[in-house]
Structure 1
Amino acid sequence: MVKIAVAGGSGQVGQEVIDALAAAKKHEIVILSRNKAVTGDSASGVTWLAVNYDDKSQLIEALRGIHTVLSFTQVMDYTPQENLIDAAIAAGVKRFAPSQWGSASTIGMPWWAGKDKIKEYLEKVNENGKVLEYSLFQPGLFLDYLATPYKTAKYLEPLNTMIDFQNRRAIVVDGYDAIMTYTTVKDLAAVVARAADLDGEWPVVGGIRGNRVPVSQILKIGEKVRETTGRAFTVDKVKLGDLERGILTASWTLEASHPSVTGDQVEEMLKTVLIGTLLSSAKGAWDVSDEFNQLLPDFKFTQIEEFLAQVWEGKP
């Protein structure tokens, strides 16, 4: 048993992972939060601790005796995570997982630039010899998003993407059959819980490959599991060059956004995210590796067609 600190533990993905860790009943979990939550305190082996991410001395004290830190902090402001890394090193933390939890690269996705900053920072702190073991957990896109508007996880909320099963439509980049990795958030959480038990060193790149499929195959699955509607998928094709110039020619756009984006930002952010997701898919960002699959060969991932057939059975 070790002590695991979860930073940003009140977020959707963080809560999914916390539940998986708590269910395993193998470790003591400390949830770091800017505002101490009133929920979860009674859960076995789970405690909450309010912290100020701008106060390194407070962070160091919070991390004393901690073996592993899992970060789910917002990536748009990367300074708090840098402070968390510095505090982890000062407190003697062994393992650190930065706030990645997505694609293999951030190409075409400027809103995730903070992920690259943190990756570079971790490389820098270890440039003269390893002082902190870390892994970039990368599960690709959450398979749950293809179930939108239906919720398939306890905390993760539905989110629109470039492939819309509800309205039987998709946007693809003309001339590119992008390879996508889809993993359910439940499987991600289970893998993280298993990874916490591993005795060996974590891989720096921690790919988690639930399903590796080309977009064309996803659309075929869509036609199959939505065949009861009697309507084929409508596919809009957009040009890579247009996307690179910030031009979106598709007949529709995203309708839901992350709760961290509000007000006047929403419309522009939805366009930026859709363009970026299409660009990044064409450039291979969502074709993640399988390091944790290899470390956990007995783990059975939820398969895309079975999952979607169950979700969409009988749906209008």
Structure 2
Amino acid sequence: MVNIAIAGGSGQVSHEIIDALVASKKHTITILSRKGAPAVLGTPDIRWKTVDYDDKLSLIDALRGVHTVLSFIQLLSDPGQKSQRNLIDASIAAGVKRFSPSEYGSKGTVHMSWWEGKEKIREYLEEVNAGGQVLEYTLFQPGLFLNYLAYPHKTSKHVDPLQSVFDFENKRAILVEDYEDAIMTLTTVADLAAVIARAVEYEGKWPKRGGICGNRMTFSEVIELGGRIRGEPFKIDKVSIKDLEAGDLKTSWNLEAVHKAVSDEQASALLKAVSIGILLSSIKGAWDISNEWNELLPDFKFTQAEDFLGAVWEGKP
């Protein structure tokens, strides 16, 4: 049994991981939140602690006796990543053994300004461990959620559908000219949750880089798969590096569905930035995820893209 604290436990991805941890019936789970506990927690296996991330002493007190901290703090709502830095400091002071920062996406952040906070936290974790390990940690990185290629259909309990540059609904995609072989790693939310549930029980040392590789595919392979599943070739909008680097997205369509954490005022600019950022970062290897957790959990069977998407889109117009 592991005593686990979940920071930012009200988010969609964190809910998926919490469900997987509860289902294992092996752990004590405490949710740390700025908000008070809801009237009904849904299960007696979960505790709730209201915390102030600006108060390190209260954080230390909340983390006493905790073995593993999983952070899901929303990066965009944590300017300067002060909350996560304080959480790391408090974890060390409270004697926490393992820490997972708010990651759950690409390995690189180049051209993705909304994820700049990840680099700051990665650097901080290196800094606090520079003189010798004081906090074991891993960066859980599954690439892009395969579930997003099912948009607008919801394929997980908590994570809402979001669009990507691969639009299976309308049989179209966007790719960078001359970079059809750029790599995109696609992993289901359920597989991410299952791997994390196994990882908290893992008795060996956590790898710093925690790649989770469900499906490693080129852009052209994803598009070809989409054509087979949807019954006709995808319409391709090709964009140039020069235009993207200039902030121009010269396509016939763009993303429309935005994450709930993003305000209406931010939505339009962010959706454009997300498309440009994913495309530019992909050609620099940001989504070519490593496979550390695949190797550490060799018996785990990942959901295959063709099986998953075939089932989602079967019979749909």
The alignment's TM-score, normalised by the length of structure 1, stands at 0.97
Specify the alignment match of 2:8 in structure 1. 8
Q: How many residues align?
A: 313
Specify the alignment match of 1:274 in structure 2. 275
Which of 93, 112, 116 does residue 115 from structure 2 map onto? 112
Answer whether contact 1:104 1:285 (CA < 8 A) is retained: yes
Specify the alignment match of 2:233 in structure 1. 232
Answer whether contact 1:211 1:304 (CA < 8 A) is retained: yes
**Residue 294 of structure 2 corresponds to residue 293 of structure 1:** yes
Deviation per CA, 1:45-93: give whole Å up to 9, x if none.
2111111111111110000000000000011321100000000000000
**Residue 202 of structure 2 corresponds to residue 201 of structure 1:** no
Q: CA RMSD in A?
A: 0.9
Once the two structures are superposed, the pairs formed by residues 116-195 of structure 1 within 5 Å of their partners are: 116-176=119-179, 177-195=181-199
After TM superposition, give the deviation of residue 39 of structure 1 in Å.
Answer: 5.9
Mapped to 2, the partners of 1:48 and 1:189 lie a distance apart of 20
After TM superposition, give the deviation of residue 37 of structure 1 in Å.
Answer: 3.4
Secondary structure of the structure 2 residue equivalent to 1:194 = helix
After TM superposition, give the deviation of residue 190 of structure 1 in Å.
Answer: 0.2
Answer whether contact 2:256 2:271 (CA < 8 A) is retained: yes
**Residue 51 of structure 2 corresponds to residue 51 of structure 1:** yes
Answer whether contact 1:8 1:71 (CA < 8 A) is retained: yes
Answer whether contact 1:22 1:44 (CA < 8 A) is retained: no
Residue type of the partner of 1:126? N
Mapped to 2, the partners of 1:163 and 1:151 lie a distance apart of 16
After TM superposition, give the deviation of residue 108 of structure 1 in Å.
Answer: 1.1
The alignment's TM-score, normalised by the length of structure 2, stands at 0.97
Answer whether contact 1:40 1:47 (CA < 8 A) is retained: no
Mapped to 2, the partners of 1:308 and 1:199 lie a distance apart of 34
Specify the alignment match of 1:94 in structure 2. 97
After TM superposition, give the deviation of residue 264 of structure 1 in Å.
Answer: 1.8
Q: What 5-or-longer segments of structure 1 have no aligned partner?
A: none
Deviation per CA, 1:116-158: give whole Å up to 9, x if none.
0000000000001110000000000000000000000000000
Specify the alignment match of 1:219 in structure 2. 223
Secondary structure of the structure 2 residue equivalent to 1:127 = coil
After TM superposition, give the deviation of residue 175 of structure 1 in Å.
Answer: 0.5
Residue type of the partner of 2:54? D
Shift in alpha-carbon separation, 1:153–1:39, aligned structure 2, 3 A: farther
Secondary structure of the structure 1 residue equivalent to 2:31 = strand
Answer whether contact 1:149 1:166 (CA < 8 A) is retained: yes
After TM superposition, give the deviation of residue 232 of structure 1 in Å.
Answer: 2.7
Specify the alignment match of 1:257 in structure 2. 258
Answer whether contact 2:142 2:192 (CA < 8 A) is retained: yes
Tell me which stretches of 4 or more aligned residues in structure 1 moved more than 6 Å: none
Q: What 5-or-longer segments of structure 2 have no aligned partner?
A: none
Residue type of the partner of 1:256? A
Specify the alignment match of 1:248 in structure 2. 249
